[in-house]
Structure 1
Amino acid sequence: MKSECIEAVSLAVGRSLTNEEIKGIETRINRNMRQLATADREAWQQLSQAERLTNAAQSAAEEIIQEAEKRRQRVALTIAAHDRVSRFLDDRMATGVDAIDAFSRMLAFHADTKGNTMSVETTAKAIERDALRQMLETLEQGAARLKDDPSNWAKHFFGLLENKEGTQAVVRELFGEESGVAGAREGAKQFHQVAAALRERFNRAGGDVGQLEDWGMPHHHSRAKVAKAGREQWAGDVMPYLNRSKYTNPDGTPMNSQELMEFLGFAWESIATDGVNKLNPGQFRGAGMRANRGNQARQIHFKDAESYLQYQAKYGERTLYEVMVGHISSVAKDVALVEALGPNPDHQFRLWKDKLRQDLTLANPDKAGKLQQRLISLENLYDLVTGKHQPVANEHLAKTFDTLRNWLVASRLGGAVITSLSDEGTMHLVAAMNKLPKMRMLANELRALNPRNQMEKRLALRAGLAMNTYIASLNRFGQEGLGASFSSKMAQTVLRASGLNALTEARRRAFGVTMMSSIGQLSRDARTLGELDPGDYRILLSKGITDTDWEVWRRATPESWNAGNPNVLTPGAIYRIPDDSLTDLGDPAVLRENAATRLLGAVLEESDVAVIEPGAKERAMMMANIQRGTWKGELARSFFLFKSFPISMIERHWMRGMDSPTAGGRARYLAMLIASTTLLGVVSMQIKEVVKGRDPLSMNPEADGGMRNWMRAMLMGGSLGLYGDFVFSESTQYGNTPIGAMMGPVVGLAESSLNLTQGNLIQALMGKDTHAGAEALRFVKGNLPGANLWYTKAAFDHMIYHELQEFLSPGYLAQMRRRAAREFKQSYWWEPGETLPDRAPDLSRVVAE
């Protein structure tokens, strides 16, 4: 059979086959026979065996020709990528940037202006947002909406549940079925268009992903659930859901149940082992060519939407909404990688890592050990940017700690919105550096906070701005990849209910709109990048903006949103540039994509500095080489909970401040940073005290405790950011030791539990008054999700909590008063145990001696 296959394909190609092409020739012929048989089974069965072989050989020949063309394309793209990286490293080293540091800037965003490139991380994020902004109908069908179910207003307002009916309606439309839900058809159309555009962009960069005729939406399998079910159980469950017409034998006959079960057994093995079954022991293996991702056998064909939904309910672990958004994010990351490093970025990275090791070791043999450590850190950063991670060692342990961390977010950050006032300081500082009009940004923020101003909100979403709420990210707190668990939704609910999500998105949106408006105006005024103000030129150049990008921006017609934003340059404005206006610059489609990606990337980078959001560089410092599902890995992740914000503050603002070319500029930036965040920290701290029923703290440096209060304000406002919301919370003041607090909330929780049990037992044995009942009540309240929401805290404490405390431990409230007076020099404007206050807060305490 093999010789016949070789002869038939050689005849179809018109030449002798190479040894590489001969490998697997029978498998290629059989696969094409199945595909041709599936396309028209009746006609196929009427053909003779010789005719079937000829037709399959012709299809195989076309494949071989296309593969040869794709190989030539990939060779050219790989050479171009290698030369591009080489030129970039040479250019950066000429300015004094270390080669390893320079390569890390290609991978992840650095807040200084030494990169002169847009990183893979930023490019992927920009491509993702560019895609998501074009599928708002899809996203809105998946978001819980009050008008769909007014009776469940609380669920929809707080976002506790997704809109399952809307999401399922989109899935039905994706499978070509009528859903009867308004907007679902448009949502499905948008998703397919965006997915197709990303696939085409991926293929232009060297990818090879074809379009399946019956592709509805991406499949998702829970490896753990599939593995636990076992081969026979899983195959038996899946079989009724399949479109049997898609499974044929080479002779055109449909697979019988036994043959299909055998096929599904191989599929189960691949899913359950995450591809380990395909390894050849002892053979070198990398991750494979990135450009081939998505072209692996996609052979699970569901017969209809209901079958897909039932399978996902049983063997998925993400919501349908997360599956769609996750697919877009994954492809965006692949596109960014292959565009930056060529069709095989893993190979390109290994090549450069080895070359850097060799060159730098030869130059400084005595520093080989330190060099190796830096290269390991570089590889960890690469793995994080590319989405590589170690498999979960123990699913149960990982989910237990995820639930615990989500629970702590829900119970400890009810007042985080007050602490986030320091974002105003960093936002205006970054605006000043970018020469953005501050009053316009303030007006944009006020408009963003207006819930009735839905038109501008939609304009911002269509521009790719303020989409974090749709993505449901908790990255600020070091808790990401939340999934669909109840605890994650509970954490999101508390952050929504506290107002933190709305305020954070308003700030991001205001900054993004103001920057897009400023870029739009600048592109009208300056004909080239070189004509810009030196500060503006330096910032845009640091983000890899080229003269070609600038020219494309100039040829776009900005959008007019309102009197304050008359020239907003958006990705949509760039995509509306007609082809004939760009042909003199190159391929119009590529030019528009690149210009839109770099516009969004530049704005998103600055937004993440203005309203701090940890990036890959910061996450690599905290989470590199940490395996989930191990005690070491989970405790390390727990240690960094709430610490990602202060680490990002240091990495982004202190790095940017030190990047100023003059000593005066560095001092000015850092002074403005410390002053603004500390003053806003004072405001945050005093609001928190008043909300707790206490008079403001004295900020008089000469007063007892005054300097300590300024230090607390600095920590809360800037240096420790939102971590200050935990360090100076009641649970720390009244429960944890400083070491327990610094080790993170999980260790702090364990310490509090130990004090409550063992500590009280020891006190009782020593004959001391334990106040065990009141302490147990405080422990429960401190760890009860939503109990510490800033706007209900005082009323709840005084009307319920204090009464229970005094009942369980008489004299406990008097001890609270004495401690506040002794340690914090404070009095209460709303006395503990009193149902209503008898006076207003004494604001004169702020300057009291």
Structure 2
Amino acid sequence: MRFDACIDAAVKAGEIDAERAAAVKADYLDQIERYKLGGMNAAEAQIAAGEDVLESFMKRARARRHATLRQLEVMGRNEARYANAHEKDPDIVLKDLEWTEAEFHGLERQFMGGIRDFLETHRTNIIGQVRDRAQLMEVTRELHGEASGNAAAKEVADAIKAQYERARTLANANGMDIGKLEDFGVPHSHDADKIEQAGFEQWSRDVWERADWHRIENFATGKPFSFKSGVKPFYDDVRPFLEDIYRGIVTRGWDDRAPSMGMGARALKNSRSAHRVLHFKSADDWMAYNELFGRENPFEGVISHLRGMARDIALMRSFGPNPKAGLEHAIQVIERDTSTIGGEAGRKASALARRKAAKARVMMRILSGEANQPADHAMATLLAGTRNLLTAAQLGSASLSQVTDVVSMRIAAKALALNPNAPIKTMIEISTKGLDRQMAKDLGYVFDTWFDTGAAQARFMGDIWSPELTERVSNAVLRGNGMAFLTDRERVAVSMAFGSDLADRAGRSFDALEPELRTFMENRGISANDWDALRAPEAIYTDPRGGKHLNPNWFLEHTSLDRAEAEDIAIRWSGLWQAHQEYAIPSSSLRGRATFLGNSAPGSFVGEFARSSIMYKSYSLSVFFNQLRRVREMQGFWTKATYATAWVAQMTLMGALAVQLKEVAKGRDPRPMDDTPFWMAAFMQGGGVGIFGDFFASETSRAGGGLAETLAGPVVGIAGDVTRAVASNAARISEGKAPLLGRDVVKIARRYNPAATFQPLLPIPTRVALDRMLWDQIQPFLDPEADKQFRQYEKRLARDYRTTSWWERGSFLPERSPDLNNALGGAQ
């Protein structure tokens, strides 16, 4: 009996629905024709086509079953975890999403630690260029299964392949369906704009010529388009396949989605397979295509793939193969329980659950990357680029604010009853002597800026969607001023000190650990059994100096546990590392971003206003939500009060130092420390929002705008500066006075050039030197009232801040050094 006749019989028997039967029969008949074109007779073609379609059908059925079982497992876990959440912890879903982010970044660092040599060799330089491009091309050839003849390139490629395979295995264990490809190569990040500009015909012909059709799967049959390597199918045969891919790229995924009122939950289980659709005949063909239509170079492509896999794995671990659906189920479990309470208590519980659910959905959109999809691509690009340039102009002295990290690192360790001086000592050693290369390789320690060029600016701006060129400018400034250097070493130091302190406690049982440390672990899913596995002798690393370390990467490769169990513990363990690191070196809060951004999209008016307002506040939001949770986890009023008081006092003291360092960098004497405005400014600086400290001494911020403008963010601020310049000159003209366009042009150029506030961690006054030796010398040529304005500036300093300039406005060179004694009593 022919295969299509078997399908008809199955429909009559009710074993398969008519719609699915029609699709299978169509695939079967299409495959018969393909085999005939390949030289088979009709009988042979029918047998081969039937086998192919049956195999494809069964493969898809197995994949669906695996994903369904995994999602059902998550639903069962949801019932147990979220039942009566209103009584146990109304915040539990938000905490779980924060934990998912911690696991994501922890797993990401594990992947990056596994390709340390690749990152160290090819990391970008200060202007964003990849290093050693020649060897990078040889690594790309090795990844595509071609021998490069370079032993170092082969070793690096093998390490990348090992992490690819680990990521694939973890993803499949959590519900994905990704087949193994030995020469997977480098995934493409297609540039939708380039492809759309080229048009379908040009793009499709290029792919048709360069693709290895023997390795490209026809989704209808599960078999390759070509039966032999090097042989191309007819263009008309693959055109529908390419049209589908083209639509998906240029519509940015909207080709198979319809606008709806639903939550739009889509499964991740096949999303990573989609990136593996196109395969090229050689590495040269891959690189040629990438040059024409790609968005990332091979270095960025490897990192993006592993980072994306880490994110998807973390999401599926928490909420199943369809994370949005898993989250919705968790929310429904909570809302079901609150709906049964009744009375005023029930109304309050339901209202609280709805608020938490709304924020949870936003947090999921941010975590999944959906929140970064622009509503208007051109507008999002323009304003994201503007924010990058503003970052370069306004955070050039941000490294001076990092003195507060000394306190936050100590407090984070002390809160867990660990050695508060260990991370400081380790950071100094790493900064002055470097990191032992073999130990770093064994334990997987890498600096964030090796794989994430935006790691430094994320401390102030959060995860942002932005164009490459302007991002390079902002990154160059933050690397040049030392902020990225310090942040990298602080984070590694915190991780090393944490691992060393825990190794010192390896001889204790879980119950014998300090209560603070044990609570921190328990609240993040680390149990007594996990602790016993982690402290097993074979899982403890000994460094070249004899020091002991507990470390997730070393544990994974040396534990005697089953691999699947070891992976689960290692991922949770790395998430714990990430959570502690965020307390010690605050960067960006998922909950804070969700609070500010809501459901707004880049490129929309609301979305861009929100993204402007959150600029430079990510650090303070992370501090706020982290410390709020830390205090809530403590036992007893006095314990909480003592901790909060110590934190505020110490951060304010270091904030005071940061304020004074910035004053000197601006060419001013230190501010007097004997008044309330100074200490309020120090308090705000310690919390990461020093710009608001200006309002305790003046009606305007350091950028010249009022409180509302400062709250709205720098993008609104620059618009305000331009508006004020236009309005003031229009007013002067209407009064019969000469306009002061020159002054305003210099003022805006002075304030918004990329080097406007640049001050590295060196005793060289670069920031004020640029201001005095360039802009102050230009202004008198364009502004007849320049000298008057310079005098007014000095008067405002004395009036508002009780200080004076050690390098006076308009002077090409300073006449004296900073008067440090002014800190003890201000200028009158």
Q: 1:214 to 1:724 in 2, by over 3 A?
A: farther
Please tell me whether the aligned partners of residues 416 and 722 of structure 1 are also in contact (alpha carbons under 8 angstroms): no
Deviation of 1:561 (Å): 3.0
Please tell me whether the aligned partners of residues 385 and 467 of structure 2 are also in contact (alpha carbons under 8 angstroms): no
**Structure 1 unaligned residues grouped into runs of 5+:** 109-118, 145-155, 583-587, 701-705
Deviation of 1:165 (Å): 4.0
Deviation of 1:625 (Å): 0.8
Match of 1:567 in 2: 548
Distance 2:328 2:314 in 1: 18
Q: How does 1:249-264 map to 2 (within 5 A)?
A: 254-264=232-242
Q: Which moved more, 1:454-463 or 1:168-177?
A: 454-463
**2:381 pairs with 1:381:** no
Q: Deviations over 1:754-781 (max 9, x none)?
A: 2222213324544678765344323201
Match of 1:115 in 2: none
Match of 2:111 in 1: 131
**Structure 2 unaligned residues grouped into runs of 5+:** 217-223, 760-764
Of 442, 447, 450 in structure 1, the residue corresponding to residue 424 of structure 2 is: 442
Please tell me whether the aligned partners of residues 67 and 175 of structure 2 are also in contact (alpha carbons under 8 angstroms): yes
Match of 1:845 in 2: 822
Deviation of 1:551 (Å): 2.2
Q: 1:303 to 1:193 in 2, by over 3 A?
A: same
Distance 1:134 1:91 in 2: 41
Deviation of 1:724 (Å): 6.1
Match of 2:220 in 1: none
- The aligned amino acid for 1:7 is C
Q: Which moved more, 1:475-484 or 1:537-546?
A: 475-484
Match of 1:470 in 2: 451
- The aligned amino acid for 2:461 is G
Match of 2:311 in 1: 333
Please tell me whether the aligned partners of residues 213 and 226 of structure 2 are also in contact (alpha carbons under 8 angstroms): no
Q: Which moved more, 1:199-208 or 1:337-346?
A: 337-346
Match of 1:818 in 2: 795
Please tell me whether the aligned partners of residues 170 and 187 of structure 1 are also in contact (alpha carbons under 8 angstroms): yes
**2:539 pairs with 1:540:** no
Q: Deviations over 1:628-648 (max 9, x none)?
A: 222222222112111222222
Match of 1:24 in 2: 23
Q: Deviations over 1:144-168 (max 9, x none)?
A: 4xxxxxxxxxxx3554566544443
Structure 2 SS opposite 1:393: coil
Match of 1:150 in 2: none
Of 716, 720, 727 in structure 1, the residue corresponding to residue 689 of structure 2 is: 720
- The aligned amino acid for 1:667 is A
Deviation of 1:212 (Å): 3.7
**2:272 pairs with 1:294:** yes
Q: How does 1:783-798 map to 2 (within 5 A)?
A: 783-790=752-759, 791-798=765-772
- The aligned amino acid for 2:374 is V
**2:719 pairs with 1:780:** no
Match of 1:495 in 2: 478
Deviation of 1:296 (Å): 4.3
Distance 2:396 2:261 in 1: 53
**2:335 pairs with 1:345:** no
- The aligned amino acid for 1:535 is E
Match of 2:376 in 1: 394
Distance 2:359 2:163 in 1: 35
Q: Which moved more, 1:761-770 or 1:224-233?
A: 761-770
Structure 1 SS opposite 2:550: coil
Q: 1:834 to 1:143 in 2, by over 3 A?
A: same
Q: How does 1:182-193 map to 2 (within 5 A)?
A: 183-193=152-162
Of 433, 436, 448 in structure 2, the residue corresponding to residue 455 of structure 1 is: 436
Give the aligned CA root-mean-square deviation in angstroms.
3.5
Match of 1:633 in 2: 607
Deviation of 1:669 (Å): 1.4
Q: Structure 2-normalised TM-score? A: 0.88
Deviation of 1:476 (Å): 1.7
Match of 1:687 in 2: 661
Structure 2 SS opposite 1:568: strand
Of 603, 606, 614 in structure 1, the residue corresponding to residue 588 of structure 2 is: 614
Structure 2 SS opposite 1:294: helix
Please tell me whether the aligned partners of residues 406 and 488 of structure 1 are also in contact (alpha carbons under 8 angstroms): yes
Please tell me whether the aligned partners of residues 381 and 467 of structure 2 are also in contact (alpha carbons under 8 angstroms): no
Q: Deviations over 1:673-716 (max 9, x none)?
A: 1111111111111111122222111111xxxxx21111111111
**2:211 pairs with 1:219:** no
Distance 1:390 1:27 in 2: 39
Deviation of 1:607 (Å): 0.6
**2:385 pairs with 1:403:** yes
Of 97, 102, 105 in structure 1, the residue corresponding to residue 89 of structure 2 is: 97
Q: 1:270 to 1:423 in 2, by over 3 A?
A: same
Match of 2:204 in 1: 235
**2:637 pairs with 1:671:** no
Match of 1:81 in 2: 74
Of 494, 504, 508 in structure 2, the residue corresponding to residue 521 of structure 1 is: 504
Match of 1:552 in 2: 533
Q: Deviations over 1:590-609 (max 9, x none)?
A: 12212221221111111111
The number of equivalent residue pairs is 799
Q: Which moved more, 1:335-344 or 1:659-668?
A: 335-344
**2:145 pairs with 1:176:** yes
Q: 1:386 to 1:798 in 2, by over 3 A?
A: closer
Please tell me whether the aligned partners of residues 404 and 686 of structure 2 are also in contact (alpha carbons under 8 angstroms): yes
Distance 1:357 1:174 in 2: 49
Q: Which moved more, 1:680-689 or 1:362-371?
A: 362-371
Q: Deviations over 1:117-152 (max 9, x none)?
A: xx22222222221111101233234314xxxxxxxx
Structure 1 SS opposite 2:610: helix
Q: Which moved more, 1:782-791 or 1:467-476?
A: 467-476
Q: How does 1:109-128 map to 2 (within 5 A)?
A: 119-128=99-108
Match of 2:395 in 1: 413
Distance 2:258 2:742 in 1: 62
Distance 1:198 1:422 in 2: 37
Q: Which moved more, 1:718-727 or 1:302-311?
A: 718-727
Please tell me whether the aligned partners of residues 214 and 226 of structure 2 are also in contact (alpha carbons under 8 angstroms): no
Q: 1:298 to 1:91 in 2, by over 3 A?
A: same
Distance 1:769 1:841 in 2: 38
**2:697 pairs with 1:696:** no
Deviation of 1:786 (Å): 1.7
Distance 1:490 1:302 in 2: 34
Identical columns (%): 24
- The aligned amino acid for 1:514 is A
Distance 1:728 1:401 in 2: 31
Deviation of 1:251 (Å): 8.9
Q: Which moved more, 1:593-602 or 1:172-181?
A: 172-181
Q: 1:708 to 1:772 in 2, by over 3 A?
A: farther
- The aligned amino acid for 1:605 is A
Structure 2 SS opposite 1:221: coil
Distance 1:730 1:168 in 2: 56
Distance 2:623 2:196 in 1: 42
Q: Deviations over 1:731-758 (max 9, x none)?
A: 9347322322222111111111122222
Please tell me whether the aligned partners of residues 318 and 484 of structure 1 are also in contact (alpha carbons under 8 angstroms): no
Match of 1:303 in 2: 281
Distance 1:772 1:718 in 2: 38
Distance 2:624 2:618 in 1: 10
Q: 1:10 to 1:390 in 2, by over 3 A?
A: farther
- The aligned amino acid for 2:554 is A
Deviation of 1:610 (Å): 1.0
- The aligned amino acid for 1:102 is I
Match of 1:49 in 2: 42
Please tell me whether the aligned partners of residues 700 and 706 of structure 2 are also in contact (alpha carbons under 8 angstroms): no
Distance 1:638 1:828 in 2: 32
Q: Structure 1-normalised TM-score? A: 0.86
Distance 1:68 1:792 in 2: 65
